[in-house]
Amino acid sequence: MLSLLINNEFSRLRSVLLGIAHSNGPVPLIEDCYDPSSLQHVRSGTYPVEADMSAEMAAVLAVFKRYKVQVFRPSIIENCNQIFARDIAFVIEDKFFKSNILPERDQEINALKTLFKLIAPENSIALPEDCHIEGGDVIVCGKYVFIGVYSGPDYSDYITARTNLNAAKAIQELFPEKIVKTFELRKSNSNPLENALHLDCCFQPLGQGKALIHANGFLNPNDYEWLIDFFGKDNVFEPTKEEMTQMNCNVFSISDSVVISEQNFIRLNTWLVAQGFTVEKVPYSEISKQGGLLRCSTLPLIRD
């Protein structure tokens, strides 16, 4: 059995689920896109091809192997996009949660049967159907669980609204000793510059008390200010709108001093090095065209 353990975003990674890009399926139709970045690239004819995305994921796998991280992969479902493992599940402490995701993606969870056999049944949790949630909206930060939500009356109009207040309340009930803090995210079905698909698209804690935060991802300016006060302005890198859309907040920590980042994030990577981080640079720009990056395609299972 796996001894699941996730208490933050940056302790030394020991075990992870990495998505897979094989048999990714055809370019989606415009009406089948469920994020504005994919929609934009389908319209412009620049949607990524499977070979390029597989090569990018292989580069991340090579980094994990170099750091001796145990890596699980989903079983391949023919003609199915299985890159974004974080969407379909997440771990808090020793509990594995199956996300309540878009109905179009229900089959992805079935590709984790091998992993499920290693998780004690009492540690595998499915929230009630009225609790909409995806792993990209859940960030564990010590005694806090930060959750990105959208609670507007037009929730059902946004295919980009993935997590609701019901889910946040359910998580709080399951972890009464933690502080569950919600953040209202900005949503757009068509404009990637005005959309934070998940909380980890506009915010991510790093080791050494640092964080990545993009103000416009939050509907409520007070939420942004709370995070700035929490981490301290000198400890925060703030991506521009364009950098957020390219997924600069969506890097992935192997430890409190090692971060995997996209090789073209020049400004961010320079800042990370200046803060004392080792930056493992990988190509991931093709995958970013689907509105996700490194954190989206990884699901940590055990951190020291």
Task: Report the relative pairing of strands 298-303 and 13-18 from DSSP bridges.
Answer: antiparallel
What is the C-alpha to C-alpha distance for residues 96 and 79, in angstroms, rounded to an integer? 26
Residue 106 has pLDDT above 80, yes or no: no
In this prediction, residues 56-69 reach a mean pLDDT of 98
pLDDT of amino acid 109:
86
Distances (CA, A) of 95 to 41, 71, 169: 36, 19, 16
Three-class DSSP category at 228: helix
The model's pTM is: 0.96
User: How much is the pLDDT for 69?
Assistant: 98
Q: Is 72 helix (H, G, I), strand (E, B) or coil?
A: strand
CATH architecture designation of domain 13-303: 5-stranded Propeller (3.75)
How much of the chain, in percent, has pLDDT values that exceed 70? 100
Q: Give the DSSP letter of residue 289.
A: T
pLDDT band with cut points at 50, 70 and 90 for residue 103: confident
- pLDDT confidence band for 203 (50 / 70 / 90): very high
How big, in percent rounded to 5, are the helix, strand and coil portions of the chain?
A: 35, 25, 40
Q: What is the pLDDT of residues 133-180, one digit of tens each?
A: 999 999 999 999 999 999 999 999 999 999 999 999 999 999 999 999
According to the model, what pLDDT value does residue 19 have? 97
Separation between Cα atoms, residue 171 and residue 212, nearest integer Å: 24
Quote the pLDDT of residue 101.
Answer: 80
Average pLDDT score over residue span 60-89: 96
For range 213-225, the mean pLDDT: 98
- The per-residue pLDDT for 105 is 76
Segment 181-192, tens digit of pLDDT: 999 999 999 999
* Domain locations along the chain: 13-303
d(CA 276, CA 257) in angstroms, rounded, equals 7
What would the pLDDT profile of 34-44 be if each residue is shown by its tens digit? Answer: 899 999 999 99
pLDDT reading at 110 higher than 90:
no
Average confidence score pLDDT of the chain: 96
Residue 52: the pLDDT is 96
Distance of CA 243 to the CA centre of its chain: 16
Q: What is the mean pLDDT of residues 118-127?
A: 96
